Structure 1
Amino acid sequence: MIVGDAAAWLSAGRSLPDDPSLHYVSFDEMSQRLLESFEPDIILTPLLGQGFDALDLAVILEQYKYKGRFRALCPKLPNPDLVMREIQSLCPSVDFDLFVVDDSDPRRLN
């Protein structure tokens, strides 16, 4: 499951994988019922999305007792451990980590 504004990503010229096993949802759509219907093994989101951030989503996932992995995509950060500690301290049952996306990587989708 990918949480964010897919329409904004497309309008910014980004490509999104077209895979029927991927479900794109907005932050506002996130609900217990949605999680139960899709049962995602992993949830991906940008560290900073439009109108929300990874911490906002982590709090929701903690409340819904989500047991899968939760990963936030981000650029190289000066202190990624600070982000990790904050989210892990507020949402200790969420399996959270960061995926650093390097814009210079030639394998990166546009």
Structure 2
Amino acid sequence: MDNIVRKSARHLGLSPSPTPPEATLIIGDLARWSAEGRKLMAADNFQFSDLKSLSAPFFADIAPTIVLSPLFGDDFDVIDVATRLDELGYRGQYRAITENLPDDDMIRKEVRAHAPELDFDLLMMQRVANDG
């Protein structure tokens, strides 16, 4: 049966085993971002959530290949996000965005202590002149 499906897909010009688009989940302070006039781009492969709204069904529906968040927000920090991702069984990439830190290895070790199965790292960004 599987062979028939593959032949039919090829006949129709479709990939016999389509790969789903990679999804990026961005966790942040959505209410504050909106109040500041920041626009959240609408795209199929980008989803936005605040940490409080990150439920198991929502997460399973998105099935992200990477999760991004700031190092800390109004109501959460990197440990909160890593712990929640670990609770959800996520084993993919999680990157916390931050400015340069004096001891970034300390952050990495702390997160890995709380969520050792998570592929965690920091995404270091230079401060932008008009970034307040």
Judge same fold: TM > 0.5, yes or no.
yes
RCO greater where, 1 or 2, for CA within 8 Å and sep 6 or more? 1
Counterpart-to-counterpart distance in 2, 1:109 and 1:95: 29
RMSD (Å), alpha carbons:
2.2
- Kept in 2, the 8 Å contact 1:15–1:109? The answer is no
Deviations 1:55-100 (A, max 9, x none): 1010111122102211100011110000000011121001111001
Stretches of structure 2 that go unaligned for 5 or more consecutive residues are 1-24
Q: TM-score, normalised by structure 1?
A: 0.85
1:91 and 2:112 aligned: no
- The TM-score normalised by the length of structure 2 is 0.72
Instruction: Note closer, same or farther for the CA distance 1:34–1:109 as it changes in structure 2 (3 Å cut).
Output: farther
Give the count of matched residue pairs: 108
- Alpha-carbon distance between aligned partners in 2 of 1:67 and 1:24, rounded to the nearest angstrom: 19
* Cα separation, 2, equivalents of 1:65 and 1:109: 34
CA distance in 2, matches of 1:71, 1:82: 15
Letter in 2 for 1:97: D
What does residue 73 of structure 1 align with?
97
Alignment CA distance shift 1:65-1:77 (3 Å): same
Indicate whether 1:39 and 2:67 are aligned: no
User: Where do 1:1-110 residues align within 5 Å?
Assistant: 1-12=25-36, 14=38, 16-104=40-128
Which of the pair has more CA radius of gyration?
2
- The sequence identity of aligned pairs, in percent, is 31
Unaligned runs of 5+ in 1: none
